[in-house]
Amino acid sequence: MDMNSFSLKGKIAWITGASYGIGFAIAEAYAAAGASIVFNDISQELVDRGLKAYAEKGIDAKGYVCDVTCEEAVQALVKQIEAEIGVIDILVNNAGIIRRIPMIEMSAEEFRKVVDVDLNAPFICAKAVIPSMIRKGHGKIINICSMMSELGRETVSAYAAAKGGLKMLTRNICSEYGEHNIQCNGIGPGYIATPQTAPLREKQPDGSRHPFDQFIIAKTPAARWGTPEDLQGPAVFLASDASNFVNGHILYVDGGILAYI
């Protein structure tokens, strides 16, 4: 086997919402594999934070402010990236939000906002990059899904609805554009220690572990939370030529919890 098929040399990768956390770790791995990194985030403050973090790692990333729920802004950003850097080879739909609210207490507006960021935005971003990928003759789209693409759980109705939808959007992009040598797959992280999940690891007033933290340790065969770094190898694989016949899948990177829960 030619191990160079795992290389991303000469590729341009756009990772959404990648100033920190999972997106940052994926971008870091892509840079190590040889790709040029482009990321966006929702505010200048986050982009500046990301640019500083990439520079500290010796990565020459380009960062842009862009709300991925705004189709006009996304179309303009893709045009700008194509003009300044080149055609995007790899899109990672990473930006996401979660709201933990019991369903009957959640407003329709709050529900819509989660679906907007976690489902509509990946559609908007994929739609913006696919035409150039078709012209170029290849492309990789990786949607960051969740275990909630498969499971329901208390307080995450909007997130589960959106991430379940994202799984099906992944399959649909595969079905619709696979003939153009575009592979669209998902990564379903298990419980990953990031700022998004920090409240679930907060110590109780009596100093004991958060009940959810205890649940994760008990239910994950790996007996630990995942780290953003755990997602790096799978993300490189799905972005590389090594996965050219893998299409429409969700790769769960969860320490085995989905198999056990």
75, two tokens? 């179309």
Q: Please list, residue by residue across 71-83, b when 16 or more beta carbons sit within 10 angstroms of its beta carbon and e when fewer do.
A: eebbeebbeebee
What's the rounded Cα separation, in Å, for the pair 156 and 189? 16
Cβ closer to ligand NDP: 57 or 135?
57
Check binding of 192 to ligand NDP (CB under 6 A): yes
**Interatomic CA distance for residues 30 and 88, integer angstroms:** 13
Nearer to ligand NDP, 138 or 219 (CB): 219
* Sequence-distant (≥ 6) Cβ neighbours of residue 88 within 8 angstroms: 12, 13, 14, 38, 78, 81, 82, 129, 132, 133, 139
Instruction: Out of 15, 39, 77, 96, name the contact with ligand NDP by CB under 6 A.
Output: 96
Find the binder of ligand NDP among 164, 165, 189, 234 (CB under 6 A): 189
Strand segments (E) across the chain:
12-16, 36-41, 62-65, 90-93, 139-144, 182-189, 250-253
Options 100-108, 150-158, 188-196, 202-210: segment touching ligand NDP (CB under 6 A): 188-196
**Binding letters toward ligand NDP, positions 110-149, x by CB under 6 A:** -------x---x----------------------x-x---
Given the rule CB under 6 A, which of 6-14, 64-72, 105-113, 245-253 is the region that contacts ligand NDP?
Answer: 64-72
Provide, rounded to whole angstroms, the least separation between the CB of residue 18 and ligand NDP.
7
Nearer to ligand NDP, 189 or 234 (CB): 189
Residue 69 binds ligand NDP, judged by CB under 6 A = yes
Q: Which residues pair with 38 in a beta bridge?
A: 14, 62
Q: Which two tokens stand for residue 39?
A: 């990321």
243 binds ligand NDP (CB under 6 A): no
* Annotated catalytic residue, options 30, 159, 177, 191: 159
C-alpha angle with apex 238: 147 to 243, nearest 5 degrees?
125
Instruction: Name residues contacting ligand NDP, limited to 26-55 (CB under 6 A).
Output: 41-42, 46
The Cα–Cα gap between 38 and 56 comes to 16
Chain residues in the site for ligand NDP (CB under 6 A):
16-17, 19, 21-23, 41-42, 46, 67-69, 94-98, 117, 121, 144, 146, 189, 191-192, 194-197
User: Among all residues, which ones are annotated catalytic?
Assistant: 159
